[in-house]
Amino acid sequence: MSAPSAAPVLDLIEAFRRSKTMFAAVALGIFDRLERKPAPAADLASELGADPDALERLLDACRSLGLLRRDEAVYALTPVSAEYLCRSSPRALTGYIRFSNRILYAMWGNLEDAVREGTHRWKQTFGLDGPLFSHFFNTDESMREFIAGMHGFGLVSSPAVVAGLDLAPFRHMVDVGGATGHLAIAACRRWPELRATVFDLPNVIEAVRGHAASSGLGERLGFAAGDFFTDPLPEGDLYALGRIVHDWGEEKIRPLLVKIHGRLPAGGGLLLAERLLDDDKAGPVSAHMQSLNMLVCAEGKERSEAEYRALLEAAGFVAVTACRTGLPVDGLLARKPPLE
C-alpha cells in the first residue's frame, strides 16, 4: 500500500512562514508605501531602510501570495492588498495584523505550556500580570491598534450576522462592549427601524466616537460609557455581545447573561456574534484556531451552537436560533420569554 500524500503536513510546516511574510510586509510599511505609487525594489529598499536583496525576496514572496504584482521591475498593489493591507483603507485589517505580529505571534510560541496548564501566556511571554484587557490597552497606541483590528474583522462579518437573523421586532439595540460599533452600525443599516447605543469602557468610547459621525446614522447611533461586568446597562430591547462571550470562562459569562436577561423587557432579545464550532467539534478549522487563540491570550474559548444554547437557556432565554455566515463570525439570537 502506498503512503498517503505528505502534502497536508508539508503545507502546515510552512504555513506560519506565509503568515509571517504578510506580517513583516505590513510592519515594514510596504503596502502603505506602494499605495502612494508603484516602485522598483531598489527604491523601496532605500526608502524603507532595508537590504535590497532581502527586500526583493520579501516582495517576490508577497507576489507569490497574491499580495503584490510586478510590471517589468516595478512592484504594485493587488486589489486585495489595496483593500485590506493599507492602513488608509476603510476596510483595513492592518490593526489586527500588527497586533498578531507584535503580540499573538510570540504568545503562540508558548502554546504547549498553555495546553499543559490551561491558562493564557501573558506572564510567560511578556511578564505581564493584572486584568486581561489591560495588556491590550496598556498604551493609547496599543488600544487603538487593537480596536482598529477588531473593527476590520467586524466589517467583514457584521453585515452577514445581522442579515442572517430576524431583528425586525426590536427598536433599540445596546451593543455591549461594542467598541467602534461596527455590529450596531450594520444592524441599523440592515433594519431601518432600529436605533443603537454602543456601551464600552470610558477610554474606548472616547477613542471611537468619530465612528458615529462617519456612520451616516445621525441620532440613531449613540455611545455610553461603563463596565458591563459592574455597571448598569443602558436600556434597550435587544442586547448584543459581539466577540465578548468567547473571551471569558463560564464563571464570568453566566452572571453577565443573567444580568442582561434581567435588564431586558419581556420578549426582548440577545444577539451573540461568535464563531461557532460544529456540534461534533470536527470543525471548522478557523473556529478551532480561534479557540486555541483564546487559550493563549484570553480566558475563554469558542463554543458550539449546542454549548451556547445551554448557556443561554440556563440564563432564562428561549427560542435560540443560529446563522452560520462562513465568515470569521457567526450569529445567535435568543429571546426573553414574553409575558403570558
- What are the catalytic residues? 246
In 3D space, the residue among 213, 217, 210, 142 whose CA is nearest the CA of residue 184 turns out to be 217
> Element (H or E) spanning 57, and its range?
helix 52-64
Total count of residues recorded for the chain: 340
* Close Cβ partners of 134 (under 8 Å, ≥ 6 residues apart): none
Q: What is the CA radius of gyration of the chain?
A: 22
Amino acid at 219: E
d(C-alpha 231, C-alpha 209), whole Å: 20
Residues 45 and 59 sit within 8 Å (Cβ to Cβ):
no
Task: Copy the grid coordinates of residue 340.
Answer: 403570558
Helix axes 7-27, 52-64, angle to 10 degrees: 120
What are residue 270's DSSP bridge partners?
A: 239, 334
Distance from first CA to last CA of the chain, Å, rounded?
67
Burial of 121 (0-12, 13-18, 19+ CB in 10 A): buried
d(C-alpha 72, C-alpha 313), whole Å: 61
DSSP annotation of 238 reads: E
Tally Cβ neighbours within 10 Å of residue 117: 12
Residues 155 and 181 sit within 8 Å (Cβ to Cβ):
no
Residues 74 and 21 sit within 8 Å (Cβ to Cβ):
no
What are residue 276's DSSP bridge partners?
A: 303
